[in-house]
Amino acid sequence: MSKVVKFGGSSLASAEQFKKVGNIIRADKERVHVVPSAPGKRYKEDTKVTDMLYACYALADKGEDFSKALADIKARYQEIIDGLGLSLSLDSEFEVIEANFKAKAGSDYAASRGEFLNGIIMANYLGYDFIDAATVIFFDENGNFDQAKTDKVLGAELKKHTHTVVPGFYGSLPDGKVKTFSRGGSDITGSIVARAAKVNVYENWTDVSGFLIVDPRIIDDPEGIEVITYTELRELSYMGATVLHEDAIFPVRQEGIPINIKNTNAPEDAGTWIVESTCQKSKYIITGIAGKKGFCSINIEKDKMNSEIGFGRKVLQAFEENGISFEHVPSGIDTMTVFVHQDEFLHKEQNVVAAIHRLANPDKIDIEADLALIAVVGRGMKSTRGTAARLFSALAHANINIKMIDQGSSELNIILGVENKDFETAIKAIYDIFVLTRL
Ligand code: ASP
């Protein structure tokens, strides 16, 4: 039995935090593969090393003097090395980095040095073997993650070591250039390593004790989620729950490896388990609520739309031609509504409208802005009657006008569209009815 443990930036922001991480790893001999992020913020106004690297490289790219910016980054690592009492020196690494910055190695390369250097420190501190992610994690020529090649090379490499540190966030392209995942991507690396090493658990250590039922910026001190399925989580993270990178579930999900979100600052907390399937009922009918503001709806009307084959395709083609992805498409008999992100849509609005007219010849198009979408997610909804009724009466009591309702046939979620201004009130009303009054 073995585990992959990934530690986020705040868990590795200082020597103090590194020591907590060391204690956690040493407390369980199954914790054999470690995936570190770059040092994050030590305090609220602090800057993450990744952001320092982007800023430093931007200077290098413009041909400006970046020596002070690079020295500041080096100082962050030196503080950790000294605080841990290690005799490690990163001088030669920083010489290479400086030369590569001068040679304009790219901002991905620059950003990746955050985890690369932290990985070297972590390996030295733990006495584990360091594996450079660029040699074992691959992207294809289009920049997409290459699962097959990675599984093969990384799987074979991990077999050669009992204990490893694989830095998060990056890999390499076929030409050997470093490429990073999107921000927060060390979560994905952890999942990739867990899959390749075929471990039993992927522990993802962060600075909160797992997922909360709802965003704590909206509800004070909400309850945590003990167990959530991959599918539920997918719905919630797509809608804005941010504890884990939304792509991190895919590699482990295919292998049925559970993810346990844990808190470095409160290791005794159980955290959240993310699993493929469970017979464990969630405490409430709903597992979580998440949402986002800033959507626009384009309402398209045409008489007898229901009998016109290909109408929907033509409408969506107008969005495709303008490079806009749609979020939801609820439809009626003679109407179809397309929800899109307002900021993406705004500057292409009239092009899209013209394209819909040209392609689908509708009777009328109406646009409404400043909408929010709220997802109410829960595996328990399937087997409980009246969930929708309770939800809607709670919103009616809170005086909220529901603009859109979308329930997938999986009955795993109900998506609601409301006006941006009603967003917080709606979420509070939903939390009240399902969690506080435990209905
Ligand atoms: N260090 C990277 C970031 O700040 C990746 C990560 O922490 O997962 O986005």
320 closest CA partner among 338, 336, 294: 338
CA angle 68, 74, 77 (to 5 degrees): 150
| Residue in 50, 76, 178, 191 to alter for ligand 1 test, most ligand atoms within 8 A of Cβ | 50
| Ligand 1 mean position, distance from CA 170 (Å) | 10
Helix 67-83 to helix 49-61 angle (10° resolution) is 150
Structure token digits, residue 41: 């913020």
Structure token digits, residue 136: 């074992």
CB-based contacts of 364: which residues, under 8 Å, 6+ apart? Answer: 300, 301, 302
Inter-residue contact 297 to 419 (CB < 8 Å): no
Strand intervals (E) in 227-349: 227-229, 259-263, 272-275, 288-301, 335-341
Strand intervals (E) in 47-144: 129-130
**Which DSSP helix (H) or strand (E) runs through 165?**
strand 164-165
User: Phi-psi bin for 41: left (phi > 0), alpha (psi -120 to 50), beta?
Assistant: beta
- The secondary structure of 106-132 as a DSSP string is -HHHHHHHHHHHHHHHHHHHHTPEE--
* Cα 302 to the center of its chain, rounded Å: 39
| Ligand 1 mean position, distance from CA 61 (Å) | 21
CB-based contacts of 177: which residues, under 8 Å, 6+ apart? Answer: 105, 106, 108, 109
186 closest CA partner among 118, 236, 128, 233: 118
Atom of ligand 1 nearest to the CA of 9: 7
**Angstrom distance (rounded) from CA 197 to CA 21:** 21
Residue 433: CB atoms within 10 A of its CB come to: 21
CA nearest ligand 1 atom 6, residue: 184
Q: What is the 3-state secondary structure (H, E, C) of 384-436?
A: CCCHHHHHHHHHHHCCCCCCEEEECCCCCEEEEEEEHHHHHHHHHHHHHHHHH
CA nearest ligand 1 atom 5, residue: 184
Phi, psi of 177 (to 5 degrees): -70, 145
| Ligand 1 mean position, distance from CA 38 (Å) | 6
Atom of ligand 1 nearest to the CA of 184: 8
| Ligand 1 mean position, distance from CA 6 (Å) | 12
Residue with tokens 């997409």: 144
Atom of ligand 1 nearest to the CA of 185: 8
Inter-residue contact 90 to 96 (CB < 8 Å): no
| Ligand 1 mean position, distance from CA 362 (Å) | 46
Atom of ligand 1 nearest to the CA of 169: 5
Give the sign of the dihedral formed by CA 16, CA 163, CA 112, CA 275.
negative
pLDDT for 438 equals 66
CA nearest ligand 1 atom 8, residue: 184
Atom of ligand 1 nearest to the CA of 51: 4
Residue with tokens 């993450």: 48
**Angstrom distance (rounded) from CA 205 to CA 227:** 16
| Ligand 1 mean position, distance from CA 113 (Å) | 11
Encode 357-375: b = buried (16+ Cβ within 10 Å), e = exposed: eebbebeebeebeebbbbb
Residue 82: CB atoms within 10 A of its CB come to: 11
pLDDT for 9 equals 96
pLDDT one digit per residue (tens) for the chain, 439 residues: 899 999 999 999 999 999 999 999 999 999 999 999 999 999 999 999 999 999 999 999 999 999 999 999 999 999 999 999 999 999 999 999 999 999 999 999 999 999 999 999 999 999 999 999 999 999 999 999 999 999 999 999 999 999 999 999 999 999 999 999 999 999 999 999 999 999 999 999 999 999 999 988 899 999 999 999 988 888 887 776 678 998 899 999 989 999 999 999 999 999 999 998 888 777 788 899 999 999 999 999 999 888 889 999 999 999 999 999 998 898 888 999 999 999 999 999 999 999 999 999 999 999 999 999 999 999 888 878 888 889 999 999 999 999 888 887 677 889 999 999 999 999 999 999 999 886 5
CA nearest ligand 1 atom 2, residue: 184
Pocket of ligand 1 (CB under 6 A): 9, 37-38, 48, 50, 114, 168-169, 183-187
| Ligand 1 mean position, distance from CA 368 (Å) | 36
CB-based contacts of 43: which residues, under 8 Å, 6+ apart? Answer: none
DSSP 8-state symbol, 326: -
| Residue in 186, 193, 205, 261 to alter for ligand 1 test, most ligand atoms within 8 A of Cβ | 186
Atom of ligand 1 nearest to the CA of 182: 9
| Residue in 10, 37, 76 to alter for ligand 1 test, most ligand atoms within 8 A of Cβ | 37
Atom of ligand 1 nearest to the CA of 189: 8
Atom of ligand 1 nearest to the CA of 37: 7
pLDDT for 437 equals 84
| Residue in 46, 183, 204 to alter for ligand 1 test, most ligand atoms within 8 A of Cβ | 183
**Angstrom distance (rounded) from CA 90 to CA 77:** 8
Give the sign of the dihedral formed by CA 314, CA 316, CA 317, CA 318.
positive
